[in-house]
Chains A and B, each alone.
Chain A
């Protein structure tokens, strides 16, 4: 793993995002902060509806028309993205400095245009290339993302490509402007496992070559373990735990992170029912009292229902927002599956340091 310089490329502060739905205001992001460091791979994990996509869409000015940033700031290269009021300033950011790769490559490509033209368009628009130059650049890029016979295939249409190849094309389009930040929203969910591994490898190698920062949005903790330097766990519109990948996987502190990890079939014990989180996430139409997870949390304390927990620092790089970390809280042992993860790390530590576990 390369050293992560502490330079912050994207600084999100106390952001609140609201939507107007049938005359009611829904608070999708309930005031959360996040810093993204230069060159790192940050993964944001959470269930659907946790707000992970909404949060990252606000970095691109792509919130649906009925949504708006209510308060807070998103600092990027000296500008506050949250303060943009019209489309104009976004044109120099979206697709140029911050790009996005979506889940389903079939819906993010234009079916009526050949793939080469869709990439060349980016070069022509953002970099002012001439038609010939843009096509040549597009072919080169297609070749770089692993499309065989790019010289021929750039004339083909999206339907002539397989799912994995289509996702490569989408990545090429995102890369055409050499963005500072690449946001990948569930980039491999629609793909087969073996193709998934190839796409993750591709993004990793591009990141090394072009030196950008990657933000993954996913609910697949296996993918997170594979790609992330740091992990932010989201629940009901707030980040509840954040730390390095090793800290979050081997020493998670928030009961929601425990629940998420415990429900993975990879960690299930055969013959026993798999752990599942009871109930449903709280409604975001109402103000949430206390800890948003308290109603579903078997470890909830009385205070969880009354007051919102602050962020408790576990290590300089790891924090969690749960009252369990308050010095006055009773000592709680995490569930067995989580303890096993920790032991597996200790075994690996011993193995790495040369002694027998």
Chain B
């Protein structure tokens, strides 16, 4: 698994926002990579910078430090127009709220093929129509839906339309930003299944941004836990769930409500207290605690955290 080609690599990425009286660092020197064909989860709470990272990759947010490499080529900052066109096509994004992310005044036919118009991705009207049909079928919608408007669809169907318009570009990397949090429980399962099925059959790489660890566990191969713009822990999903090291990861895990009344009622929540770190003597750094399992802390913390899993 380790030697597989990396489709995306993020090195020391920082993103600053201008605020009244200075700048606010939303993403602080973040490092990670995503293998080809992998599902990578980026987990954190609101304000952690997870969405900003996703938006920086698709060039919606400007970066202020570090670099983002797509198949080995830098794609942040100033890049050649040819590369820009390429990533506009090859990296697609699926948004959280399907009620807000579809143009209410356009028909599905146009919404799904809008990206194709931009890159001149078809040679004739017939070809475009055929591509729209194919994309709709792939996400489990009927081709005749193309002539309808977004308001005629339910939340789950709208999210499928959002996925169809990403797929029509034949991307090789998809960023899904909380794609199911706005949906109903029963619909969530359908959309999750669809995403993981598409990912498998097309061999896509997927970056899944979410705050809900239970969903992330189900769909991802590896996850990174992000807190206030810094990644605090990264590793294989099952490894993180069985050996959570960083206190923030543990707090996040303990907060996920499980459908088990006895467990839930006996549960003591362990909130994360950033003051629990003593970095006066030794500054924290990015360390490999177990093979492929990284955590942000100093030597003595690491010893302390890993002891319970020895």
Contacts and interface: CB of A to CB of B under 8 A. Distances in A.
B259 A264 contact: yes
A114 interface: no
B215 A194 contact: no
Interface string A281-292: 000000000000
Given A192-B46, A193-B213, A274-B192, A198 B271 contact: yes
Nearest to A228: B261
A122 B187 CA distance: 39
B211 interface: yes
B189 interface: yes
Contact of A261 (B197, B255, B259): B259
Contacts of B192: 265, 274
B262 interface: yes
A260 interface: yes
Q: Report the interface size class on chain B.
A: 35 or more
Interface in B149-201: 154-155, 184-190, 192-193, 196-197
Contacts of A250: 261
A220 B265 contact: no
A61 to B, nearest CB: 27
A265 B218 contact: yes
Among A196, A226, A259: residue with most chain B CB under 10 A = A226
Contacts of B193: 273-274, 276
A228 B262 CA distance: 11
Interface in A176-218: 192-198, 201
A81 B267 CA distance: 38
Nearest to A246: B261
Given A193-B45, A197-B269, A198-B271, A225 B185 contact: no
A270 B186 contact: no
Contacts of A259: 186
A226 B188 contact: no
Given A260-B185, A273-B197, A280-B154, A249 B190 contact: no
Among B155, B261, B263, B264: residue with most chain A CB under 10 A = B261
Contact of B252 (A48, A193, A265, A273): A193
B260 A225 contact: yes
Contacts of A196: 255, 257
Contacts of A197: 255, 257, 269, 271
B251 interface: yes
B185 A201 contact: no
B119 interface: no
Given A47-B185, A197-B269, A221-B185, A265 B215 contact: yes
B189 A265 contact: yes
B211 A192 contact: yes
A249 B259 contact: yes
Interface string A253-279: 000000111011111101001111100
Interface residues of A, number: 45
Contacts of B243: none
B217 interface: yes
Chain B interface, >50% SS class = helix
A356 B192 CA distance: 37
A226 B46 contact: no
A344 interface: yes
B84 interface: no
B256 interface: yes
B272 interface: yes
Among A194, A220, A264, A267: residue with most chain B CB under 10 A = A194
A47 B46 CA distance: 25
B46 A260 contact: no
A1 interface: yes
B4 interface: no
A156 interface: no
A345 interface: yes
A192 B260 CA distance: 20
B212 interface: yes
Among A220, A225, A280: residue with most chain B CB under 10 A = A225
Contacts of B215: 265
B259 A225 contact: yes
A193 B186 contact: no
A222 interface: yes
Among B213, B215, B257: residue with most chain A CB under 10 A = B257
Given A265-B189, A268-B189, 8 more contacts: A193-B257, A198-B271, A219-B184, A221-B185, A222-B264, A225-B265, A245-B261, A265-B215
15 contacts: A192-B211, A194-B271, A196-B255, A220-B257, A222-B214, A228-B261, A249-B260, A263-B188, A265-B218, A268-B189, A270-B218, A273-B197, A276-B190, A276-B193, A345-B262
Ordered nearest first, which 7 A-B pairs have the shortest CB separation?
A222-B257, A276-B189, A263-B189, A226-B264, A245-B261, A192-B45, A266-B214
Interface of A: 1, 47-48, 163, 192-198, 201, 219-226, 228, 245-246, 249-250, 259-261, 263-268, 270, 273-277, 280, 341, 344-345, 348
Interface of B: 45-46, 154-155, 184-190, 192-193, 196-197, 211-215, 217-219, 238, 251-252, 255-265, 267, 269, 271-272
